[in-house]
Amino acid sequence: MMETAPPSWAMLSYLVSGVCFILALRGLSSPATSRRGNRFGMAGMALAVMTTLLLKAPVPAGDFLPQPTQADLVTLGQILAAIGFGGGIGFVTARKIKMTDMPQLVAAFHSLVGMAAVLVGWAAYLNPEAFGIAGADGIIHAQSRVEMGLGIAIGATTFSGSIIAFLKLAGKMSGSPIMIPARHVINLGTLLGIIGLVGYFTQDQGLWVIAVVTALSFLIGFLLIIPIGGADMPVVVSMLNSYSGWAAAAMGFTLHNTAMIITGALVGSSGAILSYIMCKAMNRSFLSVIAGGFGAAPEAGGGAAREQRPWKRGSAEDAAFLLKEAENVIIIPGYGMAVAQAQHVLREMGDQLKKHGVNVKYAIHPVAGRMPGHMNVLLAEANVPYDEVFELEDINGEFAQADVAFIIGANDVVNPAAKTDKSSPIYGMPVFDVDKAKTVMFIKRSMGGVGYAGVDNDVFYMDQTMMLLADAKKMVEDIIKALAH
């Protein structure tokens, strides 16, 4: 049987929720409006869920609902219990999660969206009459099979890929690329197999077809993400975000749910655009990211070369003196700041410097951290004023006038090899021109470490560079104490 069209009030309600989601994306485009964007998103989702529940509520037929009974009370109770259970887990997780763990939390959420798409697709396959996607003979409509096959394929790919991303981001497995022999041939063959089977599914709805599509899709998610290095993780997170959106949109067609189609399309398209922006910020193509390899271990001999080059070490007292005497200071945070949870003490240091009449600005690279906007989120958590935070293209020209470039936990995004060394894996990636600052202060744990790109950084050895070797949070705390004297 075919489902009757939703009543006009439901379509209007879904439209309003879609507008809320658009306003949410608009608000999330800036830290200053992100709270408002989140509120719009929550309001839109609440409206969409309430509308769907009302459509299935066990009430008599009339102008409000087209059929006398959509769901019994037991089923409705189960749905509400599931919402309460899942919402409770989400609420507790959001309250307890550390901001430094946000990238892996986002990856975990993407995996749940992917698995939800897989489960919905299989539920529709096993009981097509309940979804209104089959004829009287029980044969699923061809267009519904395409929607179902694509939804399951994209959802399964999103799930397994997000699990690998979560493990890499959480440090449960190596962040370096894991190269599988003949991976390009295997990946291409698997993708072509999935596409071919989805097409064949329109002719044969046998269980084996959809089962193989599901298995291959789980496999390709694993194969696509396992060779991608940590330096490409911002692109991976935004890419998986896009996948989860398209999976939701495909399932929206299966469920005849306008809100899911709108929401999925918004998430899918915005994630794709964000992936493009991330790739552009790294001067890499999307295909090169998928191919993997960026973030490999440094070449043999790289460590010896670093040991032979002279560098200058400074103390917290030295740094405090120079910072206090400066007029313009630009702070460049990176993943090391996130790991050390130094964002709060960094903001305190900035406040101290402003009391001494120093002009303080924060420079954020688009791919700093492990997800898009990672550094913005951390600085916002520490209540750093929005008007002091600048993107790469807005502040890069100011380093020539800066007295101090203060680098805390960043590496690849300040490496001049991206501009000068054509053999470098980061060549062409836009980076901060910290080498133009009068003084460079570089906080890192030791001289032995390199960034996720696995290449040495000439900034360490410049005449105007002072290396501050310590835990980022501890070093900033010591600088704050020295500034107070």
Sign of CA dihedral 397, 399, 403, 408: positive
- Residue type (1 letter), 483: L
Sign of CA dihedral 62, 65, 68, 74: negative
- Which residues are designated catalytic? 412
Helix (H) / strand (E) element for 361: namely strand 359-364
Burial of 141 (0-12, 13-18, 19+ CB in 10 A): middle
Q: Which residues pair with 361 in a beta bridge?
A: 330
Quote the radius of gyration of the chain (alpha carbons, Å). Answer: 26
CA distance 331 to 326: 13
CA distance 425 to 441: 25
Q: Which of 243, 235, 233, 234 is nearest to 269 (CA)?
A: 243
Q: Are 232 and 294 in contact (CB under 8 A)?
A: yes
- Could you give the C-alpha distances from 231 to 287, 377, 395, 407, in angstroms and in order? 15, 19, 22, 18
DSSP state of 469: E
Give me the phi and psi of 415, to 5 degrees please. Answer: -85, 115
DSSP state of 442: E
Q: Which residues pair with 67 in a beta bridge?
A: none
Sign of CA dihedral 80, 86, 89, 90: negative
Q: Which two tokens stand for residue 119?
A: 């489960």
